[in-house]
Structure 1
Amino acid sequence: MSDVRIASSSNADQSMNVSYNILQEPCSSVAMRGRTLIVNRRLAAAMDKCKVSDRDAIHLLSACVESLLLNPMDYVINRFSIRRARQQYREDTAINIQAEFEQLNVDFAVVHWDTKLLPSVTGIKKQNRLPVIVKTLLTEQLLGVPLISSGSGKEISNAVFNTLQKWDLVIKVQAFVFNTTSSNTGRFNGACTLLEMKLGRNILFLACRHHIFELVLQAAMSSVKLYSSSGPDIPLFKKSKVSFPKINSQTISNCDTSNELVELIAENQEETHLFCLRILKNNQEPRHDYTELLDLVVILLGGTVPKGNKIRKPGAYHQARWMPKAIYSIKIFLLRSKFAIIGVKEKALCKICGFIVVNYIKPWFTANKTTEAPRNDILLLKNLNKYKKRCYNEPVLFSLFDFNVPLEEKPRMTEKLRKLINSKEIEDVEDEDLTPKKYLLPYDELNEFLEKDLPCSLITKRSLNLFKHFKISTSFIESDANEWSHNVSFNKGKEVCNSINVVNDTAERRVKLMEEFNTAFTKNEHQKQIILQ
């Protein structure tokens, strides 16, 4: 018995010793928290670009680590750590972007803006967003997409001014690029007028040329009465969209099948055909809708596009957008035999197609050519039978840097400029109010206007502001126009003018960006602004 008790005692001691040792040594079954950070700057940027939420990032990172045969327990993979890392990288990137932009020390800035009504983060109501972008000689920068309570001129001007203040660009702004809505162009309460008053100096107004040409197309479609619709749907377009899959889209009726259209486009057919083919072959248009319009015009004129003559299925259209309506009109005309379009509608479509070929295609696709803008406007006026257009005195001097302007016209322009520059009355152009900033050209004065010496007759004292705004030297006007291509001040001025966008496409691209990221993976307004930059 004693032996047994001794043995038991010995076993008990050993058991206690084992238990004691277990308490002293770390337990191998306790999970240790990972210490290796997996989210770096590049990965954080990629997740933002792909609109990956913090919760989804956990699943993606865990699966990625496991697929690489690594231990997920060694890495920091949790929602809060991922969110903190992403926010920190965004903050650092935003600071670096603004610092790099400030180091450029730009001489001038051209401000673009546009408004868009988007859903709020709750999705219950909508709110106005205002992308504000500046374009300089060397770069383009999104400054912010602030919320505004309404789309009025006062709200827009306040938001743009506050954004410019944050980036210390108030004294650098020399021009505005904007859509021609009343909230922007109003004489007394328009955003341009109010913002110019806030800046306290004369500013160059550059209405978006694409927006102007959309209004021209709108007027053309309204005049032929192609359709009448007060709702979101256009019956003619809706019917063709529904019927398209049921017809043979290879049976195309081009201009050769319509004597009326041939008569309308006879003088411009070859020129427009070559113009469209040149743009398509050079791949100058990245947007699919622009490319599709060019394809359709080439097919309409009896040509063959580089990728083959094929009519795509009709896409989306909107009452406020006129480019899709031009595309729809040409498609329906080309397939009018399959859609059974006859009579009044066929004649209306014929007139619209003729208008697009003669008066719309070339102006639209050269709208972004800054130095060619004044001359192109004059040519458009000469081609149109009925047209009202806002004309500005200051941008007319862009045409000095346009090599398409005949050399015999430039001496007359420079002579008038020299007289204005040497005049003692022109000591302070900004204080002069002898010519309006813009004026309307009534139709009954159109013939008289076109008989003038254009563009020379459009040059006024206010036109000299262009040189002052962008610090362009006028020394080149003292030399012969034939020698300007070798003149340093002329080439510098040409570079500056070509850097100015006279279309507001850059603001519209930011609107599209805001639409994509408006409700994506973050409700924090500050973080949203940083992501968009």
Structure 2
Amino acid sequence: MEEDSHPSCSTSIKNRGTKYVFTERVVSALDKCKISDRSAMHIVTAVAEALGHNTNELIINRTSLQRQRHLNRLKKSENNKENLKIHCGTLHWDGKLLPEITGREKVERLPVVVTDRNGEHLIGAPKLYAATGSEIADTLYELIFEWDLKDHIVACCFDTTSTNTGVIKGAATLLEKKLERKLLYLPCRHHIYEILLRGVFECYFPVNTSKDVQLFRRFQENWENIDKNNFKDLLQNNELNLRLNDNVDTILNFCKEEMKKKIVRDDYRELLELTSICLGANNGVKFRVPGPTHHARWMAKALYCLKIYLFREQFKLTEYEENSLASICAFIIRFYVKLWFNCTNPSKAPLQDLSFIKEIHEYRNVNKIISEIAIKKFCKHLWYLSEECIALTLFDDDVSYAMKQNIVEKIKNIDNCDKETENVKRVHVRSSEINEFIRKELHDFVTANTIDFFGRFGISPQFLQVDPLYWKDTETYQKAKDIVINIKVVNDTAERGVKLMEEYNRILTNDEQEKQYLLQVVTDYKKQFDSHNKSSLIRS
């Protein structure tokens, strides 16, 4: 018996593989593609055989794979922390309720991203227990400290919920106290405009307890019965034609130019396409199937309203529903489309917001209901007319030469003795003050604190000594403009972090720390290999 055991032992040792398979690239790809350890064993063995390898010579076992995956995740996370260099960064965060990775209950996840001129960097997606402003601030500060970013964060971008914006208990306020300095607030402009659209929609179709809008649900269920070639654009409604106020060609040209750009989301492109169809540009029309109707998806509300109105002669509507949809569609086409697609440009923010307030106030002569609700909602979110953000105006090509001159002169002539220690984060306007407010111009928002914007982002104010007419040929201005256009004023980057956490929430590992390491591997891999094409996947 003793003699028989030795040959089998030596044979086992002899057959043990010696060639390493699970390299850093391989295990990173397995993580990115959500391949479990068991599935990876089947795939790697089959691929090795297909390539003509003797699998007995290869180290292919679950223990080696698990160990290499852990080491790779840990190494990536440590390398990212060590190598991350942020210059005048903006901190983004966005909460999402997701299932707990180890149980059935749900927990709040907080993906946190830092952006600067060099791109975006996910620094974590920790779970919260109460999701209060205090807990969010504590969590943000811990991540900032962990990644050694305390001296490199100058601004923050977030959704405008009271949990984030509260003057006393808001996460942003409490984070400033922990950092012992003021941050520039750059609330998500997409979120602001979603609030605006929601206000307009709900003044005609109030929210009920159901998650779905019943009108949209009816349309979705009847979609198969609708003749997609039989629709009527908005211009066939004389009243709607008047509401658009001879802006049809301008809006069509805007949509045409936007569609030439790279559009990252299908629903954004669909909004441009539907707007063009509504205004009579119906060459090569192809309608998409109506999507989700959940209240949280406000872009979907705009798409549904436009689509239903186009098919108003086929889809049964009450007189109230048809008239209400007409009013909402006119608002979307005349105002909302341009607002939405321009809102990612930080330099355009002050002029766009002030101009909108003036235009929507004038719109009361066309639709008083929409004018009043839009003013009420939007006047609560005039963050980009604050004393620091008003400096963004200097980099907006749409702002006149005379206005830039006025702003520069006011910055130069303001006495620094008037400088306030407490920065005004946003402009507050009551309904009773709107008539006075619409007479203001951009330079009226400049204060002694406006100059702080330049120091915050490491911008030399030297170009202010040059006439605005020659700024395009001034090096300091061009450098400053390059910094400004790369400031992120929408929270899409944090929303991508939410989506990433949703994808990997309950797969590959149930360990909380390992989950954070995993997210670093996946984000790194996606940056390095951002396409599925063979040419981009092959290393140079």
TM-score (normalised: structure 2): 0.89
The corresponding residue for 2:89 is 109
CA distance in 1, matches of 2:278, 2:265: 20
8 Å contact kept, 2:255–2:276: yes
Of 256, 263, 272 in structure 2, the residue corresponding to residue 294 of structure 1 is 272
Of 423, 427, 434 in structure 2, the residue corresponding to residue 439 of structure 1 is 427
8 Å contact kept, 2:124–2:516: yes
Of 410, 413, 431 in structure 2, the residue corresponding to residue 416 of structure 1 is 410
The corresponding residue for 1:87 is 70
The corresponding residue for 2:298 is 322
8 Å contact kept, 1:227–1:236: no
**SS at 2:182 equivalent:** coil
**SS at 2:113 equivalent:** strand
The corresponding residue for 1:155 is 135
CA apart distance, 1:304: 3.3
CA apart distance, 1:501: 0.6
> Structure 1, residues 364-398: CA drift from partner, whole Å, max 9, x if none?
00001011111111111122133132322210110
The corresponding residue for 1:338 is 314
8 Å contact kept, 1:226–1:349: no
CA distance in 2, matches of 1:22, 1:370: 78
Of 459, 463, 470 in structure 1, the residue corresponding to residue 446 of structure 2 is 459
CA apart distance, 1:227: 5.3
> Structure 1, residues 64-104: CA drift from partner, whole Å, max 9, x if none?
12222322222122211111111112222222222221xx4
The corresponding residue for 2:366 is none
The corresponding residue for 2:538 is none
Identity between Structure 1 and Structure 2 (%): 35
CA distance in 1, matches of 2:400, 2:46: 66
The corresponding residue for 1:9 is none
The corresponding residue for 2:329 is 353
CA gap 1:445/1:72 in 2 versus in 1, 3 angstroms: same
CA apart distance, 1:284: 2.6
Of 242, 246, 250 in structure 2, the residue corresponding to residue 267 of structure 1 is 246
CA apart distance, 1:22: 9.0
CA distance in 2, matches of 1:439, 1:23: 85
**SS at 1:438 equivalent:** coil
Of 485, 489, 507 in structure 2, the residue corresponding to residue 520 of structure 1 is 507
One-letter code of the match for 1:402?
D
Structure 1, gaps ≥5 residues long: 1-18
One-letter code of the match for 2:46?
A
The corresponding residue for 2:387 is 393
Moved more, 200-209 or 460-469: 460-469
The corresponding residue for 2:257 is 278
Q: What are the residue-to-residue correspondences of 1:104-143 with 2, within 5 Å?
A: 104=85, 106-143=86-123
CA gap 1:396/1:75 in 2 versus in 1, 3 angstroms: same
CA distance in 2, matches of 1:380, 1:20: 91
What count of residue pairs does the alignment treat as equivalent?
501
CA apart distance, 1:61: 1.1
Q: What are the residue-to-residue correspondences of 1:70-81 with 2, within 5 Å?
A: 70-81=53-64
8 Å contact kept, 1:110–1:135: yes
CA gap 1:339/1:141 in 2 versus in 1, 3 angstroms: same
CA gap 1:328/1:20 in 2 versus in 1, 3 angstroms: closer
- Within the alignment, does 1:205 sit opposite 2:185 as a pair? yes
**SS at 1:439 equivalent:** coil
CA gap 1:402/1:283 in 2 versus in 1, 3 angstroms: closer
CA distance in 2, matches of 1:333, 1:441: 35
CA gap 1:263/1:67 in 2 versus in 1, 3 angstroms: same
Q: What are the residue-to-residue correspondences of 1:419-498 with 2, within 5 Å?
A: 419-420=413-414, 423-425=415-417, 429=419, 432-433=421-422, 436-452=424-440, 454-498=441-485
CA distance in 2, matches of 1:50, 1:508: 20
Structure 1 consecutive aligned stretches of length 4 or more whose deviation exceeds 4 Å: 19-31
CA distance in 2, matches of 1:432, 1:324: 43
- Within the alignment, does 1:242 sit opposite 2:230 as a pair? no
The corresponding residue for 1:252 is 231
CA distance in 2, matches of 1:448, 1:72: 80
One-letter code of the match for 2:402?
E
Q: What are the residue-to-residue correspondences of 1:378-389 with 2, within 5 Å?
A: 378-384=354-360, 385-386=371-372, 387-388=375-376, 389=379
CA gap 1:327/1:20 in 2 versus in 1, 3 angstroms: closer
Moved more, 324-333 or 28-37: 28-37
CA distance in 2, matches of 1:203, 1:228: 35
| Root-mean-square deviation over aligned CA pairs | 2.0
One-letter code of the match for 1:53?
S
One-letter code of the match for 1:61?
V
**SS at 1:92 equivalent:** helix
CA distance in 1, matches of 2:101, 2:202: 38
> Structure 1, residues 115-150: CA drift from partner, whole Å, max 9, x if none?
111001134100111111111122321111111112
- Within the alignment, does 1:68 sit opposite 2:60 as a pair? no
8 Å contact kept, 1:260–1:350: no
CA gap 1:401/1:25 in 2 versus in 1, 3 angstroms: closer
One-letter code of the match for 1:408?
A
8 Å contact kept, 2:102–2:510: no
The corresponding residue for 1:12 is none
User: Which of 1 and 2 has higher RCO (CA within 8 Å, sep 6+)?
Assistant: 2
> Structure 1, residues 415-464: CA drift from partner, whole Å, max 9, x if none?
100012xx2415xx5x624x633232122222211112x10001112222
Of 345, 349, 359 in structure 2, the residue corresponding to residue 369 of structure 1 is 345
CA distance in 2, matches of 1:20, 1:521: 43
- Within the alignment, does 1:170 sit opposite 2:150 as a pair? yes
8 Å contact kept, 2:217–2:293: no
CA apart distance, 1:171: 1.4
CA distance in 1, matches of 2:18, 2:10: 18
CA apart distance, 1:302: 0.6
CA distance in 2, matches of 1:41, 1:527: 16
8 Å contact kept, 1:184–1:191: yes
Find the structure with the greater CA-based Rg: 1
8 Å contact kept, 1:227–1:234: no
One-letter code of the match for 1:297?
T
8 Å contact kept, 2:213–2:293: no
The corresponding residue for 1:529 is 516
Of 33, 36, 47 in structure 2, the residue corresponding to residue 50 of structure 1 is 33
CA distance in 2, matches of 1:135, 1:21: 67
Structure 2, gaps ≥5 residues long: 361-370, 521-540
- Within the alignment, does 1:146 sit opposite 2:135 as a pair? no
> Structure 1, residues 168-204: CA drift from partner, whole Å, max 9, x if none?
1111111011100010011110001111111111210
